[in-house]
Structure 1
Amino acid sequence: MRASRLVQVLLLLQTRGQLTAPELASELQVSVRTVYRDLEALSAAGVPVYSEPGRAGGARLVDGYRTRLTGLTTDEADAVLLAGLPGPAADLGLGTVLAAAQLKMLAALPPELRGRARRVAERFHLDAPGWFRQPEDTPALAAIADALWSDHQLDVSYQRSDQVVARRVDPLGLVMKAGTWYLVARQGADIRSYRVSRIVSADPRPERFERPGDFDLAAHWAASMDDFARSMLRLRARCRIRTSAYRLLRIALDPAAATEAIASAGPEDADGWVEMTIPTESYDVLAGAILRMGENAEVLDPPELRARLAATTAAMAARYR
């Protein structure tokens, strides 16, 4: 266990340059005292690690020192090979870089891991976009990526529903969601998301900006997706659902709506039905979902949704009579 941790300390210092003892302790989830003992053990083993005192100090390796130790386990090698999506990498202008990096990694692996890597490539392929969707045209993506790497501001023209608007933004990250690229950027005090296919032009500016030190792209994206889902599901309908039809409910509804609806379910009655409140973005959408469930669902409220379903089902019955 300690040998593995010493390798982690070495690789962290090699990749990040300098870290304080509390930072290392946080990364390794150990005490600061343990970090000091590990640094002493590395030094005793001949690793040129030293500490700089003061507020700006920390542990670091002698300049130019590089270890040849990779420490890759079988599972870690598999994960690295599966992580590189050639499509997104090509979009960002990194397709050849990714291919070269994978070749170098394969060459550095021992024979047993190299053979396993080939088996991974033969057995797994990751295809991010959804079914029946053509890749979106993203002519501004390369310029956005360049500005993102160098922390330069961007002047973007963005196509909204009926007009093109101009924005000056600080690009903070690019996210691919279901095959669609989004730019996460700061405009003034707000952090917003822009669909890259709607960015007509993106012109990097000479001015650089300072990234917020506490910004976490993955955490921000997860929170914004939750907020978006909640904002879309602004209407509610009270319904009766057969408990045996929960699988159909999950198929018919958006995942966030299905989760909230099932959580609101009351006790099951003697006939196997429960009442629940179903959130929806519109009653048109919910009417379609209820129709997909057939006789396993009934709307109780609001009256206008009941009337709409009654009229629809009556028309269907008359057509098939």
Structure 2
Amino acid sequence: MQISRLFQIIYILLEKGTTTANELAERFEVSVRTIYRDVEALSQAGIPIYTSQGKGGGISLTDKFILNKSLLSEKEQDEILLALQSLSAVRYPEFDEVLSKLSVLFMKSNVNWIEVDFSSWGSEQRQKEIFSLLKNTILEQRVIAFSYFSAAGEKSERLVAPMKLLFKNKSWYLQGYCLHRMACRTFKITRMSDVRVIGDSSAYEFKQEQMTTAAPNDSAEIKIPLKLKISAAGAYRVYDDFDEKDITKNENGSYTVNVVMPGGEWIYNYLFSFGPLLEVIEPQNIRFEMAARIKDLMGKYAI
């Protein structure tokens, strides 16, 4: 909290010029003595801050002071602003406000040189609300309850201590410690509903280092090595979806892809998304299951 208050004090002084310890104490709901300790901390950090007595006196910064010459390097400023711009891309007002304030502090006028679009769900109001709630529960170490639909369409009730929000493969996920399964799990946010905060996590013993990059479908223990053949017409998908080291281009222009992917129902939907561009070569059980599903689909559309 102190670091945040120190930055805000600098911002206020840059904006107002001079203010009093009493005004700052009232604004931040701390004692005047605390404000003077903050002033001392800023001074020790190299910020040219000073106090003056008498009418019109108070706490001020040296004229023409620029934050970037005293506290953060040019590269550090750019990294902070880039991180805030990335967060701002999900369209949350609090990030825009912080970005605006730090732009003033760093004396930067051009902070819109990059745009990050986190894709579909962020534009929906309900998902925005879930995102904001999850963000706060992670920062405040709260426990949440919610209903969850698996990739197979099965509904279950979950009790989770959230740890991290993850954006992966065009979708948002929540990583957390599931208190029902007593293990770390990853949940696709679009499959979560009726999300509610039920308490803090102080009663539960778990460590963040326990988190692993579990599969989005809760099948982290299942990994399937796949050998795929993709036609030349599917080149745009090949380099979008797979690492270059896993791709071999064949003489006829087609591609062979050797990749390891998490198992589960979702994998069939993913493979079918390529349509006629893709053929599963290995493993045989996936190939046979694909054939069975194609046969079933043909039966539904038989003329």
TM superposition score normalised by structure 1: 0.48
1:66 correspondence with 2:52: no
Identity %: 14
1:259 corresponds in structure 2 to 245
How far did residue 232 of structure 1 move?
7.0
Contact 2:137–2:197 (CA under 8 A) maintained in structure 1: yes
Find the residue that maps to 2:96 and give its secondary structure: helix
Q: Deviations over 1:146-183 (max 9, x none)?
A: 32222122111123454432111111122233664321
1:215 correspondence with 2:209: yes
Distance 1:288 1:274 in 2: 13
Q: Which has the higher helix share?
A: 1
Distance 2:158 2:282 in 1: 46
Contact 2:81–2:103 (CA under 8 A) maintained in structure 1: no
Root-mean-square deviation over aligned CA pairs: 4.7
Contact 2:163–2:208 (CA under 8 A) maintained in structure 1: no
| Shift >6 Å, 4+ stretches | 227-230, 271-275, 299-302
Structure 2, unpaired ranges of 5+: 4-36, 47-69, 262-266, 292-303
Aligned match of 1:103 in 100, 108, 129?
100
1:168 aligned partner, one-letter code: L
2:110 corresponds in structure 1 to 119
* Equivalent residue runs for 1:1-321 within 5 Å: 66-67=41-42, 68-69=45-46, 70-84=70-84, 85-88=87-90, 90=92, 95-96=93-94, 98-109=95-106, 114=107, 117-121=108-112, 123-129=113-119, 135-136=123-124, 137-138=126-127, 139-160=129-150, 161-177=152-168, 180-188=171-179, 189-209=182-202, 212-215=206-209, 220-221=212-213, 234-236=225-227, 249=235, 251-252=237-238, 255-256=241-242, 259-262=245-248, 278=258, 288-290=276-278
Q: Deviations over 1:180-238 (max 9, x none)?
A: 43211111432111122222112222342357445287xx44x758x98995754435x
Distance 1:195 1:301 in 2: 27
1:86 aligned partner, one-letter code: S
Contact 1:257–1:278 (CA under 8 A) maintained in structure 2: no
Q: 1:120 to 1:99 in 2, by over 3 A?
A: closer
TM superposition score normalised by structure 2: 0.51
Q: 1:77 to 1:228 in 2, by over 3 A?
A: farther
